[in-house]
Amino acid sequence: MTPSLAEEALQAAEIKDSAALTRDVLEQHFNDLKGTLRKLLDERLVSLLQEVDAIEQESIKPLNECQKLIEHGVSTANELVREGENAIHGATGEDSDRLCNFTKKALHIQLDSLPEVPMLVDVPCLSAQLDDSLLTVVKSEIFSHGTIASRPPVQIEELIEKPGGILVRWCKVDDDYIPQDYRLQYCKNNASHFEDVYVGSETEFIVLHIDPNVDYQFRVCARGDGRQEWSPWSVSQISRTTLVPHGTLPPNTKQHQY
């Protein structure tokens, strides 16, 4: 059967719309990744710089204390020398007392008692150890991150009206995709907000509480075996029921067994 111009236009619009949406999703995802990676790298850099600061302060503290003791000893020695010179060159009785005081002071000052300066090999020498293999690992992960599919791995196969409901059947269209669960959503009329109505391993489900003679959109996606993320949504399809509900289901009846 030859497709009409309207069908061809609808298909072309579907291709363009899905391509535009895919571009938006890709750009948003990779922008989010770049922001997260930049934040993580900045946090790691701050952590390493703080570690450098801590080691520097801890290592230089005893050296600063040693330097202060040495400077104090040198200053005391210089002061003592000046007092000795003044006492020696004096001749009066007052200067003799000064010489006596200088002698007592000199006996109590230990000019040779200076702190031991650490050996050069014992002094920390900071350096950064950076493994360039991280770039290789990250590059490999980035180059294999994400795939583009020309069509979703599952599609709605059949929509059958039921009294007060619609039976939705779907099937896998990608032979290489191994689904673990399916997720079915619907919305009333042309509303943009879809709601989950079924999540499980079955490939059909009857959606109840459907208003007669009202259009509903349905879409389904899958989750691969051992994966957390869901696949892209199938092409949404519209259906309605003209059958009013003739009664309620018995308790504990499984809806997907219709």
User: Over the stretch 181-197, which tens digit does the pLDDT of each residue have?
Assistant: 999 999 998 777 899 99
Residues in Cβ contact with 109 at an 8 Å cutoff, skipping those fewer than 6 apart:
76, 77, 80
CA gap 25, 144 in Å, rounded: 17
User: Over the stretch 31-88, which tens digit does the pLDDT of each residue have?
Assistant: 999 999 999 999 999 999 999 999 888 888 777 777 777 777 777 777 777 776 776 6
Buried b (16+ CB within 10 A) or exposed e, 96-113: eebbeebeeeeeeeeeee
pTM: 0.57
